[in-house]
Amino acid sequence: MVEFSGEIGSFKAKVHRKARYVDASKCTACGACAEKCPTKVPNEFNFGLNDRKAIYKDYAQGIPSVYTIDPNHCRVFQGKKCGVCAKQCQAGAIDYEQKDSYVDLEVAAVIVATGYDLFDATRIPEYGYGRFPNVISSLEMERLLSAGGPTAGHLARPSVVKGEARLKELPKLIAKAEKDEKTDAASALNKERKWLEEHVHKYPTAKKLGFIQCVGSRDFRFHKYCSNYCCMHSIKEAIIARDHEPETESYIFYMDLRTVGKGFEEYKIRGAKVSGLKYVRGRVAEVLQDEELNPVVYFEDTEQRCVRSMTLDMVILANACSASKGIVTVAELLGIALDENNFVKTHPNKPLDTSVPGIFTCGCAQGPLDIPESVAQASSAAARAAEVVMTGGRALAV
């Protein structure tokens, strides 16, 4: 949205629609274009754990089911000769000339459902995220566990996934260094190659997992609030990991295990009984790494009253739910108030209403929520909007 004006019952909005360079009405999402596209790009949807093509779709079930060209990487847009996708596409859907468009909307009500951003765990250097390959975020874990993800659901350690990719490119780099007679560089690369060859396949599957809760949440340095869904998210990931690999052992390091939803407490208990999850009450102070790239966590075991360490195959951080970065601009455009955390401000008695009549909000835009509550709120916001639409825009309280 680039422009916004008006009042309840008669808002005007201008929406900027980016070109996708594929005619959505013709594309059948058959994928022949992506199969033959010569340009590989790190796949952001899988957090760079594999590659996608310059013409792509985030995932198979995405809606609308239409491919998109990434103009920052597509050879045609880089002024190079290509056009492979246009040749492959028998439906004639490729349109390199497509332009951005602007859509003018006249609406009675608006719903802000902009969601959240994952807390950036590099802001907590003591956990080693970004430095240690086998310390990952909760959403990276989600991709590793997904049958449609970069490892087809196999819980491969990121050090292995990345190490294998590096091993593939090393011979070329070594040959180039040798050709340029850079002996130091070549010997360093050779050393790296030897180390990788010896180590990469030593622990291919992550079997001993540590989940660190409240990463950025309930932390005075970052977010004071509780992110609501992370306890259940970690328990779910640990249970699924065990389903994929029966030898998996999971430890969940927590302050309070917040299992407040319907069936959640029961699920937590099942996790311990059936899937062998171990819940450790205590906050992790630091994560280090041993020479085999195993993360080592140091924590206070408050129930045993001692400081302990544990060597794990992989550490999964329960990243906090941060307000989305774009919300400030959206809020300014709409004129709605945000709270101190940059979530859309609401009153407990009027949970869907923003500070502007006719503009409603739902989901993580207004604060961290789990799926059932988000889905319920989405219907609620629709009800509020429907009240406005169906009564010709009269402002009505809850």
The stretch near other proteins (CB under 8 A) out of 85-93, 153-161, 174-182, 287-295 is: 85-93
The stretch near other proteins (CB under 8 A) out of 79-87, 238-246, 282-290, 335-343 is: 335-343
CB of 242 to other proteins, least distance (A): 21
The stretch near other proteins (CB under 8 A) out of 12-20, 68-76, 330-338, 344-352 is: 344-352
The stretch near other proteins (CB under 8 A) out of 76-84, 195-203, 241-249, 341-349 is: 341-349
341 binds other proteins (CB under 8 A): yes
- The site string for other proteins over 287-306 (x = CB under 8 A, - otherwise) reads ---------------xx-x-
72 binds other proteins (CB under 8 A): no
* Amino acid identity for residue 176 in this structure: K
The region that residue 172 occupies, defined by phi over 0 for left and psi between -120 and 50 for alpha, beta otherwise, is alpha
22 binds other proteins (CB under 8 A): no
CB of 261 to other proteins, least distance (A): 7
Rounded-to-integer distance, Cα 235 and Cα 18, Å: 39
Query: Which three-class secondary structure string do you get for the chain?
Result: CCEEEEECCEEEEEEEECCCCECCCCCCCCCHHHHHCCCEEECHHHCCCCEEECEECCCCCCCCCCCEECCCCCCHHHCCCCCHHHHHCCCCCECCCCCCEEEEEEECCEEECCCEEECCHHHCHHHCECCECCEEEHHHHHHHHCCCCCCCCCCECHHHHHHHHHHHHHHHHHHHHHHCCCHHHHHHHHHHHHHHHHHCCCCCECCEEEEEEEECCCCCCCCCCCCCCHHHHHHHHHHHHHHHCCCCEEEEEECCCCCCCCCHHHHHHHHHHCCCCEEEECCEEEEEECCCCCEEEEEEECCCCEEEEEECCEEEEEECEEECCCHHHHHHHHCCCECCCCCECCECCECCECCCCCEEECHHHHCCCCHHHHHHHHHHHHHHHHHHHHCCCCCCCC
Strand-pair partners of 129: 132
CB of 85 to other proteins, least distance (A): 13
Scanning residues 233 to 272, which ones bind other proteins (CB under 8 A)?
A: 256-266, 269
368 binds other proteins (CB under 8 A): yes
CB of 225 to other proteins, least distance (A): 4
Q: Which of 352, 354, 358, 365 binds other proteins (CB under 8 A)?
A: 352
- The site string for other proteins over 185-224 (x = CB under 8 A, - otherwise) reads ---------------------------------x-----x
CB of 272 to other proteins, least distance (A): 13
The stretch near other proteins (CB under 8 A) out of 4-12, 178-186, 187-195, 388-396 is: 388-396
Q: Which of 91, 107, 310, 356 binds other proteins (CB under 8 A)?
A: 91
Cβ closer to other proteins: 82 or 382?
Answer: 382
CB of 180 to other proteins, least distance (A): 40
382 binds other proteins (CB under 8 A): yes
Rounded-to-integer distance, Cα 388 and Cα 383, Å: 9
Binding stretches for other proteins (CB under 8 A) = 28-32, 60-61, 89-91, 148, 218, 224-226, 228, 256-266, 269, 281, 302-303, 305, 339, 341, 343, 347-352, 367-369, 371-373, 375-380, 382-384, 386-387, 390-391, 396-398
